[in-house]
């Protein structure tokens, strides 16, 4: 009879990996961000500000960054209420993620303050992004460059400086890039060659960083949404209202996404619940790609 590698009598806790894994904890703590601070870019509105609130609800502190001078009023009022009920902390900083000096200065200050509160930086949601619908044959060079500058270079800069903080402070952490299903498929009915190219680049950048930083306990993954109703899609729908029918035809659940649909997937990727996940893409698209 061949001997099994792990005898049936061996309890999981006696397997060496179980002792190393941060996931060797009750499920209730696997989705907690307590004692941690997470940076969220694009947190002035839309998906970013909803994910910032989700982090507070999971017990974490948040550093919100956005190019907008101030966050959306209604959402920020909710953030302030959630801070009070959860005993957490959230701050907002105007910062252009393509400006390396601004990113360094903002994150250095934020990291100092977070450590002082006893809740060091342990994660990032890189959510800032821009979109533009234009025929490729007429695409102006500066427009194409700007999309790549924000969606790819800006995402890289914020990840680089977050990883630097984690490394300097000797902490493990989780970096989550908000990519898109458009990194893997080309959307029918809308011509967005620069955006789609940028999101494919984000997915490949994530895998590359995961390979480099796994040895330091820094996990890197992408979360790829399908269509979500936000200012970004409102603008596309205003320019071309007929595409909503096409989008709905591919929506297996009979609706487009809401920013709230991404709260649990994002928290999962940030917390110890996903401690063995890196270099992966979590696609949450209401079955859109399955039906494309
Ligand atoms: N809405 C969708 O259907 C959808 C689908 C898939 C992926 N996404 C991605 O989700 C993310 C959030 O998009 P959204 O739908 O909430 O759109 P949004 O336009 O409401 O939010 C994007 C945010 O990024 C900020 N931003 C833009 N350039 C910046 C810069 N240089 N520096 C700092 N902040 C900057 C904007 O000010 C804005 O607050 C984006 O990365 C987007 O590509 C959106």
- Give me the residue spans of the domains in the chain: 28-291
Q: Is the CB of 107 under 6 A from ligand 1?
A: no
Residue 131 Cα to ligand 1 midpoint, Å, equals 8
Q: Is the CB of 68 under 6 A from ligand 1?
A: yes
Residue 5 Cα to ligand 1 midpoint, Å, equals 48
User: Exposed, middle or buried by CB within 10 Å (0-12, 13-18, 19+), for 96?
Assistant: middle
148, 194 in Cβ contact below 8 A? yes
Whole-angstrom distance, CA of residue 82 vs CA of residue 79: 5
Residue 66 Cα to ligand 1 midpoint, Å, equals 10
How many whole angstroms from its chain centre is CA 108? 20
Q: Is the CB of 250 under 6 A from ligand 1?
A: no
Atom 41, ligand 1: which residue's CA is nearest? 129
- Active-site residue list: 195, 199
User: Exposed, middle or buried by CB within 10 Å (0-12, 13-18, 19+), for 57?
Assistant: middle
Q: Is the CB of 178 under 6 A from ligand 1?
A: yes
Phi, psi of 59 (to 5 degrees): 95, 5
Residue 131 — very low, low, confident or very high, per pLDDT cuts 50/70/90?
very high
pLDDT in tens, 141-199: 999 999 999 999 999 999 999 999 999 999 999 999 999 999 999 998 899 999 999 99
Q: Is the CB of 230 under 6 A from ligand 1?
A: yes
Provide the CATH number for the domain formed by 28-291 in this structure: 3.40.50.720
Atom 19, ligand 1: which residue's CA is nearest? 232
pLDDT score of 5:
66
Q: Is the CB of 48 under 6 A from ligand 1?
A: yes
pLDDT score of 4:
61
Model's pTM, two decimal places? 0.95
pLDDT in tens, 57-74: 999 999 999 999 999 999
pLDDT in tens, 1-11: 555 666 667 66
Residue 128 Cα to ligand 1 midpoint, Å, equals 4
């Amino acid at each position: 009879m061949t001997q099994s590698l792990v005898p049936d009598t061996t309890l999981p806790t006696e397997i060496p990996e179980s002792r190393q894994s941060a996931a060797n904890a009750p499920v209730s703590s696997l989705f907690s961000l307590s004692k941690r601070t997470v940076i969220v870019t694009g947190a002035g509105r839309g998906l970013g500000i909803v994910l910032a609130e989700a982090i507070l609800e999971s017990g974490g502190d948040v550093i919100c960054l956005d190019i907008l001078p101030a966050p959306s009023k209604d959402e920020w009022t909710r953030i302030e209420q959630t801070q009070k009920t959860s005993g957490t902390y959230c701050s907002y900083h105007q910062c252009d993620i393509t400006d390396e000096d601004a990113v360094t200065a903002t994150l250095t200050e934020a990291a100092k303050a977070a450590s002082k509160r006893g809740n060091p930086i342990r994660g990032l949601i890189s959510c800032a992004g821009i979109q533009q619908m234009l025929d490729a044959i007429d695409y102006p060079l500066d427009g194409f460059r700007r999309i790549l500058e924000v969606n790819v270079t800006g995402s890289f800069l914020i990840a680089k400086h977050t990883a630097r903080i984690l490394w300097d402070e000797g902490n493990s952490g989780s970096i989550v890039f908000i990519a898109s299903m458009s990194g893997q498929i080309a959307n029918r009915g809308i011509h967005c060659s620069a955006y789609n190219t940028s999101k494919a680049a984000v997915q490949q950048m994530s895998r590359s960083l995961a390979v480099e930083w796994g040895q330091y306990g820094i996990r890197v993954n992408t979360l790829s949404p399908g269509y979500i109703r936000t200012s970004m899609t409102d603008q596309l729908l205003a320019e071309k209202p007929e595409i909503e029918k096409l989008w709905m035809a591919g929506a297996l659940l009979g609706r487009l996404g809401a920013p709230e649909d991404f709260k649990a997937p994002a928290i999962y990727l940030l917390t110890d619940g996903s401690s063995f996940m890196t270099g992966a893409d979590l696609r949450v698209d209401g079955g859109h790609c399955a039906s494309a």
